[in-house]
């Protein structure tokens, strides 16, 4: 609301000047007698005044700007990894690191994602390592049986001595 300060304004520098204030502040100044309301002729004049008022601000205050946050999501059922970009309430998932880097993902985060082919290779390597460990265990058990001279029969998974 536009007001003009009267001679009763507390600050002598403000007397006779015109300023824009929020309506609740302007109304309290008018009620005190420190100012009078100066209405605009029409909306064009008000918009021109607001534009001129904002143009002298060299660095306007920017509020509520959300910085994008990047993360890695691993699907619990398939084990597939995707990159996630969260900004405010928006969430975007990228299937490949290349797509995410094009959208602004830092290389450090994108480099942590393992591709689907590499995931499959890791699964195969893990399965081979488990099979080799199983074979080694069976070989050690056979060797133990030979050393002790005991003949053991296998019933299911349990080793029992014959009676």
Full domain range(s) for residue 92: 69-113
Q: How far apart are CA 126 and CA 131, in angstroms?
A: 9
- Phi/psi of residue 81, each to 5°? -100, 135
Q: What is the pLDDT of residues 90-115, one digit of tens each?
A: 899 988 888 888 888 887 888 788 66
Does 162 fall in a domain?
A: no
Asked, for residue 105, whether it belongs to a domain, the answer is yes
- Say how many domains are in the chain: 3
Question: Would 59 be classed as within a structural domain?
Answer: no
* Residue 64 Ramachandran class (φ > 0 left, ψ -120 to 50 alpha, else beta): left
User: Measured between alpha carbons, how far is residue 131 from residues 26, 109, 127, 136, 155 in Å?
Assistant: 82, 33, 6, 9, 21
Task: With respect to residue 163, please indicate whether it lies within any of the assigned structural domains.
Answer: no
Distance CA 115, CA 123 (A): 12
Q: Is residue 62 part of a domain?
A: no
Tell me: do 13 and 48 sit in the same domain. yes
User: What is the full DSSP assignment across 105-123?
Assistant: --HHHHTTPPPHHHHHHHH
Is the same domain home to 46 and 83?
no
Rounded to 10 degrees, the C-alpha dihedral 93/99/104/110 comes to 80
Pairing of strands 18-20, 69-74: unpaired
pLDDT digits (tens, 9 = 90+) for 112-141: 886 656 666 657 777 788 889 899 988 888
Beta bridge partners of 92: 85
pLDDT at 85: 93
User: pTM score, two decimals?
Assistant: 0.37
pLDDT tens-digit series, residues 59-68: 556 566 678 8
């Amino acid at each position: 609301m536009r007001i003009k300060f009267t001679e009763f304004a507390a600050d002598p520098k403000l007397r006779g000047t015109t300023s824009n204030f929020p309506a609740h502040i302007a109304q309290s100044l008018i009620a005190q007698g420190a100012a009078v309301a100066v209405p605009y002729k029409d909306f064009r004049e008000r918009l021109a005044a607001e534009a001129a008022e904002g143009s002298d601000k060299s660095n306007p205050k920017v509020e509520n700007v959300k910085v994008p946050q990047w993360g890695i999501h691993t699907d619990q059922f398939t084990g597939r990894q995707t990159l996630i970009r969260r900004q405010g309430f928006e969430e975007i998932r990228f299937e490949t690191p290349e797509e995410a880097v094009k959208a602004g993902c830092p290389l450090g985060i994108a480099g942590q994602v393992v591709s689907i082919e590499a995931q499959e290779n890791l699964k195969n390597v893990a399965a081979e390592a488990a099979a080799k460990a199983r074979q080694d265990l069976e070989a050690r058990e056979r060797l133990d049986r030979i050393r002790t001279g005991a003949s053991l029969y296998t019933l299911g998974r349990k080793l029992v001595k014959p009676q």
